[in-house]
Structure 1
């Protein structure tokens, strides 16, 4: 009797393929299918009612969806640029340290080691109206007589969320930019000194162009993180007050698990994924451009 024999490499990889199929592929296919149905968690029979692109059209005309999208882009823009500037400054300072640099590099990584949920609870306490450290410090210094409603006022609540995001992820930029600083060849810097360039001109026209590929890599990584921000916002404000800090993924979570409209939530989720891919492609193209300008060729 003929018996098919699997190649050894496939036998070794088969458990991994089975796990990926069970944990990733099947849920992904099911969620994609349910996005074309009116699936409601309390009515399982709705999973088998095909409605086509109705959920996607509904999301495209939903004002709450586009408001959440605008807040997500605002958070992404402010957080990425602030983290880049702070990370650049931190990396430049650490690169000048001659003793204890390894300890500093390790300390820089501490904020990114904390769970986003833990960071959310930490800053929820720091910005608390009554017992928060920020209000207590401001009142002790005499800068204000009343408690500032950091997490109740919509604009201040968004500032608090951005502050928490920047605190926890600036080290991503700092570590990658520091790696770029160590990789810069010394010949162009020495040539700039010989030509009489000032420190600022050397940084602007020599150092910074070499660092741009590392900055775009960090931005690509962080754009994906910020675009799917959920934990910190959910813990600190739960999207409030009055949805003033509602982001894409907090809106999707509320729609799917609170309102139980899972089909509609999955449709919004796939739209958000496509937008995240768009940001990634943008930063990847900028990375390729920066590499070509340095004569590094294609990736």
Structure 2
């Protein structure tokens, strides 16, 4: 891992515009300055932040609800847990291809369902709509990743001693009070871990966008990782692409550091 990391860092200080380039002048921080001066970069940052916040927040909410259901004393609970994990077990590329088919403008089942129920008058090109395409990608990501979030939170729920619930019932605490005063505070470490993992993973999202939209339409789904890919491999600007890669690394490092500090504070408050 060390060699490609150092090699990429080195390339980011040179003007490398081809894989076989022989003239690669040293530009210092020129690539980084050019990136920060590019409006496309800031647009991709905004879309990445939107994707990260919406997908992670939605997965956390749905995952918490699923965790509560999976923690309930139901018959064949093991079967529900096995079924719930299936979306996460599907490879990301397969998941993205499946959702691309769901949103297909001509043959997609979503259009068929909405038109047959009278909610739409005609088929809609969902992935060609700049105002909806990124939300379609978020739906695909949420469907795949919510199960693993649910299992992280389920682990936290099962670690709460039963005596705590019994003591709360003796004090005649309602389910809302139990959830707010007992469950959520004791789930803070699990929630923090989920936030770290999912935020980092969502911020560098690439594969689901590559399969579903290729960054379109009109760059409406072009996140920072896809922008770096286009810059380096489609436009053959490897110096700029390397600078973008390290900017992504620095942003992820800052996000992770922030979350880890929150995790330490939450653990200290619980102790």
Task: Tell whether 2:175 aligns with 1:199.
Answer: yes
Query: What number of residue pairs does the alignment pair up?
Result: 271
Task: Tell whether 2:238 aligns with 1:267.
Answer: no
| CA pair 54-32 structure 1, distance change in 2 beyond 3 A | same
State the Cα distance separating 1:117 from its structure 2 match: 1.3
Can you list the C-alpha shifts for 1:234-289, whole angstroms capped at 9, x where unaligned? 11111111101110011111111110001100101100111111111122122222
Q: RCO higher in 1 or 2 (8 Å CA, sep ≥ 6)?
A: 2
Equivalent residue runs for 1:111-190 within 5 Å: 111-190=87-166
Alignment RMSD (CA, Å): 1.2
Conserved? CA contact 1:41–1:260, under 8 Å: yes
CA distance in 2, matches of 1:238, 1:46: 31
State the Cα distance separating 1:193 from its structure 2 match: 1.5
CA distance in 2, matches of 1:35, 1:101: 52
The TM-score normalised by the length of structure 1 is: 0.88
SS in 2 for 1:44: coil
CA distance in 1, matches of 2:70, 2:20: 57
CA distance in 2, matches of 1:98, 1:133: 32
- The answer for unaligned runs of 5 or more in structure 2 is none
State the Cα distance separating 1:42 from its structure 2 match: 5.0
CA distance in 2, matches of 1:65, 1:208: 38
Conserved? CA contact 1:172–1:218, under 8 Å: no
Can you list the C-alpha shifts for 1:36-89, whole angstroms capped at 9, x where unaligned? 001122552234x21111001111111101110110000000001100000000
CA distance in 2, matches of 1:42, 1:281: 35
- The answer for unaligned runs of 5 or more in structure 1 is 1-23
State the Cα distance separating 1:102 from its structure 2 match: 2.1
Task: Tell whether 2:72 aligns with 1:96.
Answer: yes
SS in 2 for 1:151: helix
After superposing on structure 2, the runs of 4+ consecutive aligned residues of structure 1 that deviate more than 3 Å are: none
CA distance in 1, matches of 2:246, 2:41: 13
Which structure's CA Rg is the greater one? 1
CA distance in 1, matches of 2:136, 2:184: 30
CA distance in 2, matches of 1:251, 1:68: 7
Task: Report the equivalent of 1:21.
Answer: none
Task: Report the equivalent of 2:3.
Answer: 26
